[in-house]
C-alpha cells in the first residue's frame, strides 16, 4: 500500500515523464505511433517493396528521482520505441505508464535509463 507522500511523488513524476514524452513528439516525431503494450509493430516497409515488416519496440524505463522520504527508483515510467532495421522508420508510444519500481523493474535485455 502506498503512503500519501508516495502517491504524491508518483503523480508528479508521472506527469513530468509524460510531458517529456509528449515533447519528444514535437522535437523528433516518429513515423508511427504505437500503443505501449505491444512489442512488435508491423509496417509496410518501402525498402522491401511494401512487404509487411516487423519493427521491434524496446522498452524505455525511466527511474523516478528521490523526493522527500521517497527513495529514487521507487517508481518507473515506461514507454516503447523502435526503428526498422531496413528502412529506418521509427515508432514510439505516445502514452507511457507508471509502474511500481519494487514490483515491476525493467525487463532484462531492454533499454533502461
Confirm whether 81 is domain-assigned.
yes
Question: CA–CA separation, 90 vs 67, rounded Å?
Answer: 34
At 109 the pLDDT is 56
In a domain, 64, yes or no: yes
Residue 22 lies in a domain: yes
Residue 113 pLDDT: 45
Count of structural domains, the chain? 1
pLDDT in tens, the chain (113 residues): 899 999 999 999 999 999 999 999 999 999 999 999 999 999 999 999 999 999 999 999 999 999 889 999 999 999 999 999 999 999 999 999 999 999 998 886 544 44
Domain region containing 95:
4-100
How many Å apart are CA 39 and CA 81, to the nearest integer? 9
On whether residue 24 sits in a domain, the answer given is: yes
Amino acid at each position: 500500500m502506498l503512503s500519501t507522500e508516495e502517491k504524491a511523488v508518483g503523480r508528479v513524476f508521472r506527469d513530468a515523464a509524460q510531458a517529456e514524452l509528449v515533447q519528444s513528439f514535437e522535437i523528433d516525431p516518429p513515423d508511427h505511433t504505437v500503443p505501449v503494450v505491444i512489442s512488435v509493430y508491423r509496417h509496410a516497409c518501402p525498402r522491401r517493396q511494401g512487404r509487411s515488416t516487423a519493427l521491434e519496440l524496446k522498452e524505455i524505463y525511466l527511474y523516478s528521482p528521490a523526493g522527500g522520504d521517497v527513495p529514487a527508483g521507487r517508481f518507473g515510467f515506461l514507454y516503447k520505441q523502435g526503428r526498422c532495421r531496413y528502412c529506418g522508420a521509427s515508432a514510439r508510444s505516445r502514452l507511457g505508464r507508471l509502474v511500481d519500481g519494487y514490483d515491476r523493474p525493467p525487463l532484462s535485455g531492454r533499454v533502461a535509463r
